[in-house]
Chains A and B, each alone.
Chain A
Amino acid sequence: MSADMPSSAIVLPSLPKAPTGIEGLDEITDGGLPLGRPTLLCGSAGCGKTLMAIEFLVRGIQDYQEPGVLMTFEETADELAANVASLGFDLPAMQAQKLLRLDHVHVDRSEIEETGEYDLEGLFIRLGYAIDSIGAKRVVLDTIEALFSGFPNQGVLRSEIRRLFRWLKDKGVTTIITAERGEGSLTRQGLEEYVSDCVILLDNRVIDQITTRRLRIVKYRGSTHGTNEYPYLISEDGISVLPVTSLQLNHEVSDQIVSSGIPALDQMFDRHGFYQGSSVLITGTAGTAKTTLASSFAHEMCRQGKRCLYFAFEESPQQLVRNMRSVGMDLGTWQDQGLLRIEAARPTLSGLERHLVTIHKLIGEFKPDAVVIDPISNLISVGNLAEVRSMLTRLIDYLKVKGITAFFTSLVSGRNIQQEMTEEGVSSLVDTWISVRDLEGIGERNRGLSILKSRGMSHSNQVREFIVTSKGIRLLDVVIGPTGIVTGASRLTQKIQEQALSMAQQQELERRDRELERKRRVLEATIANLRTEFESVEEELRRINDEENTRQQALSSGRQQVASAFPSEKNPKLNDNAPQA
């Protein structure tokens, strides 16, 4: 085991790094710990220094084929193996395979008498032997500060520790040195002055009786790194650091649509639902049926045979099932079919990180298509706003990467109805935001629903009134009054008014029809009259004409008779006169 530094250093201008394999840490450190150099891991008691260091070794063995040496100054090898067995790290097996070597250094002041000059060559030899015997590339020195209690001569000890770190560098092994947090300094014995390449600080803070663990990279020579404090979790699978900023926004997106469970609500969206894998937020004041909306969604998902995980932070599963049955949703059957899983827990039960772990774990187990969290605002009671926001950001990112549709509800303060900014500030993270609110009018409250935003599709701009019936949520038709959309009693008043109006109009119309009919009849009568008159006049005329004709004929026949009686002398004169008659 000599300094066989990888040649990648020549190819890449950046510092060669040893990936830790710890979830999230490699992203913050931009690739891992400095290769072949010591890293100081400091923190107060109980923040997981030893665990993180051991995970570094175990991941190195499992994922990167780098054998490791664990030199422990506090716990014995057996104790350590037992402690990490619960995380699935089988140290004895790795030892048997010659991939890991444990060396417990026992320092007892009472057994040691000091006389004259000495050095710590024995420690070097032990470590060197351990490294060489398995060809280790990674070394962990768990709390080397224990030496300070064992050796009275601080001067010797300090120079030897300095030499040790130099020696480890020369060996080319990537080392983690753990140390207790000191008063006003990173470590009790000021080890940070010896380890200058990379310093990681772990912190264990208790705020309102709830512990949150945080990690910060204090310095990392020759490399960029995340500078924030990142919460991390100790879960069943080891340590998980979940940085918000380092997760890249390049997850796959789906073009599929999932229904909200309320047909009329779906209609308000251009594509008739939400995108699968998007995140939906429902905000509203108390009693605006947020839970019912969320349950409708869960109900619909299950009805389509999809799996849904429901986190209830306010109600027990039984209570939720009972309450939803009253509005026509039988969640119990979905539970029985294994499509729905309701997880209820008080937010104060554990810290935010623990909640996140639980959620991650259950998602991993249940593999849901949709996750409902009801409500997220309740989590404020366990952390401050910034923490909750960062936790939710991480959760939303996680769900998005997994392509799981997320449905959150959030309680907003009722003081400001127009408050369209959730306290968690997650609104910028969610894709679809539906606001439900009380529309308080004269002596009554009504529920109104509107879509504030919907990424990737157009949506209705109306505030729709909805009612919770025994058959579920029903959106009412939009009624537009003189001053805009009306609801509740005003809606009824408006309806009655409209009915009265339309009745009056109908009556007016009928009246006009009748008037017209009357006029028509009058006209018709007049026309008949005139016709009768005309007919009588015509008759008269015809009769006069006939009489005249008859008279003429009679006259002419009379003349002829007269002419035949006196035919000779008077005839031509009579003939001239005859046509003129």
Chain B
Amino acid sequence: MNSLLANTPLVMEEETWELRLYVAGQTTKSVTALANLKKYCEEHLKGRYQLEVIDLLQNPQLAEGDQILAIPTLVRKVPQPIRKIIGDLSNKEKVLVGLDIRSLEGFGKA
């Protein structure tokens, strides 16, 4: 990763990450996803994130807004652009890449 790109997370570091996890009831996948997500956030974004869990069984009208099709879906609202990760988030590498957390890490270590 070159230095030009590595500079961008500097700004992001100041922001509070807004994450939304869409689930449908207490299914195995949903529970797994939530557990996984909490773990990653505590590891990499401690104190800098807000996590909102939306149960579509209770609020089905919210599915349209974020264009939710798959369950579970994790939506990164802030920082922009919006990213979506679907699945139970069991693959840590993919989640971090998807949320663009790895670059932040890389910068921190450097």
- Residues of chain A having any CB pair with chain B under 8 Å: 103, 105-107, 111-123, 125-126, 128-129, 147, 150-151
Contact = CB atoms under 8 A, between A and B. Distances in A.
Interface stretch (B8-16, B43-51, B59-67, B101-109): B59-67
Contacts, number: 95
B29 A118 contact: yes
A347 to B, nearest CB: 49
A118 B87 contact: yes
Contacts of B60: 125-126, 128-129
B63 A126 contact: yes
B63 A129 contact: yes
Contacts of A119: 29, 70-71
A149 to B, nearest CB: 13
Nearest to A121: B71
Given A114-B85, A129-B60, A122 B91 contact: no
A117 B70 CA distance: 10
A152 to B, nearest CB: 10
B60 to A, nearest CB: 4
B63 A117 contact: no
Contacts of B84: 111-113
Given A105-B69, A111-B83, A125 B56 contact: yes
B17 interface: no
Contacts of B95: 113, 115
Nearest to B29: A117
Contact of B69 (A116, A123, A129): A123
Contact of B89 (A106, A115, A128, A150): A115
B22 A113 contact: no
A129 B58 CA distance: 11
B70 A118 contact: yes
Contacts of A105: 67, 69
Query: A-side binding surface: helix, strand, loop or mixed?
Result: mixed
A151 B60 CA distance: 22
Given A103-B64, A105-B67, A122 B88 contact: no
Given A105-B69, A122-B73, A126-B63, A115 B56 contact: no
30 contacts: A103-B64, A105-B69, A106-B67, A111-B82, A112-B85, A113-B86, A113-B95, A114-B94, A115-B88, A115-B90, A115-B91, A115-B95, A116-B29, A116-B87, A117-B29, A117-B87, A117-B90, A118-B71, A118-B87, A119-B29, A121-B56, A121-B70, A122-B22, A122-B24, A122-B56, A122-B70, A122-B71, A125-B71, A147-B69, A151-B86
Nearest to A151: B70
A114 B91 CA distance: 9
Contacts of A112: 84-86
Shortest Cβ-Cβ A-B pairs, 10 listed = A113-B98, A116-B87, A129-B60, A116-B88, A116-B90, A121-B71, A122-B68, A115-B94, A115-B91, A115-B87
Contacts of B97: 113
A574 B94 CA distance: 198
A103 B68 CA distance: 12
Contact of A116 (B33, B61, B63, B64): B33
Contacts of A107: 67, 69
B33 to A, nearest CB: 7
A8 to B, nearest CB: 32
A452 B97 CA distance: 84
A341 to B, nearest CB: 51
Nearest to B68: A122
Nearest to B87: A116
Given A122-B63, A128-B60, A116 B32 contact: yes
B57 interface: yes
Given A114-B86, A129-B63, 10 more contacts: A113-B83, A115-B89, A115-B91, A115-B98, A116-B89, A116-B91, A117-B87, A117-B90, A120-B69, A122-B69
Nearest to B28: A117
Contacts of A147: 69
A128 B94 CA distance: 31
Contacts of A129: 60-61, 63
Contact of B72 (A106, A113, A118): A118
B69 A113 contact: no
Contacts of B72: 118
Given A112-B84, A113-B86, A114-B85, A125 B63 contact: yes
Contacts of B90: 115-117
Contacts of A103: 64
A43 B88 CA distance: 37
Contacts of A117: 29, 87-88, 90
A115 B36 CA distance: 11
A120 B95 CA distance: 19
A120 B87 CA distance: 10
A120 B68 CA distance: 9
